[in-house]
Amino acid sequence: MKAVRSQLIVAVVAVAGVIGVASLSAQTTETGFLNRSVMVDGREHRYQVYVPREYQRSTSLPIILALHGGGEYGNDGLLQTDGGLARAVRRHSDRFPAIVVFPQSPPGGTPGFQALGERIALAALDKSITEFKADASRVYLTGLSMGGNGTWYLVYHHADRFAALVVVCGFVGEFTGTTSGVRYPSIVPASDGDPYATIAARVSRLPIWMFHGDADPTVPVDESRRMAAALKTIGANVQYTELPGVGHNAWDPVYDRADLIAWLFKQRRQ
């Protein structure tokens, strides 16, 4: 009988050990830049999501939706993380205790993050909020160049979803991409009046920080000047920083700013 009992005890301990290992494995979460995908209009669209090393499921982190520029159209789900905010995250991971979502707009004439690109970006954001239990009161939006246009587009149509936005060399009027050749319609139809004033009225409650290089040969700096002026006219919570002597690539010095990132994480949806 003693031998049988001993065998039973060993078996129970072994099973408990297996269950413990399985439970620990189930709790383990991948971190870093992760491959993900969403289905939109019956097609798979790949994207990347950054998860900080310190992430724990018991903690609700802020989440950033980062929109790429016109040079990163694609279907690989990777190209959009070669630069922009992803570069800053890699260089200064200590500054980003947040989930960061990097959707990719597909090629073929899609106007950036308008239309199909909008649906892809929001689907990736929603999936990431659910998967990583992100803080719904701290959802931030940023974009550069074409992604800056996408930032204005998304916030114009979904202002209640975001706590703050950072726009780098963006545009709101009709525009044709110098690299992609893609034609971007005006965010606000001409029949609706001044697009800058119309967008400003829609997003006035949000904290906004805009940036543009004054030597930008691609997206005219006047796009940001006019948008900033419209926001300031109605007393919106906006900051506009113009970078002297900086061309189109304003995003590297902008996303490298510790004060910008610290400011962003202080914002909460009202």
CATH number of 31-265: 3.40.50.1820
Q: What is the 3-state secondary structure (H, E, C) of the chain?
A: CHHHHHHHHHHHHHHHHHHHHHHHHHHCCCCEEEEEEEEECCEEEEEEEEECCCCCCCCCCCEEEEECCHHHCCCCCCHHHCCHHHHHHHHCHHHCCCEEEECCCCCCCCCCCCCHHHHHHHHHHHHHHHHHCCCCCCEEEEEECHHHHHHHHHHHHCHHHCCEEEEECCCCCCEECCCCCCEECCCCCHHHCCHHHHHHHHHCCCCEEEEEECCCCCCCHHHHHHHHHHHHHCCCCEEEEEECCCCCCCHHHHHCCHHHHHHHHCCCCC
- From first to last of its 270 residues, the chain has per-residue pLDDT tens of 444 454 544 444 344 444 443 443 345 689 999 999 999 999 999 999 999 999 998 999 999 999 999 999 999 999 999 999 999 999 999 999 999 999 999 998 789 999 999 999 999 999 999 999 999 999 999 999 999 999 999 999 999 999 999 999 999 999 998 878 899 999 998 888 899 999 999 999 999 999 999 999 999 999 999 999 999 999 999 999 999 999 999 999 999 999 999 999 999 997
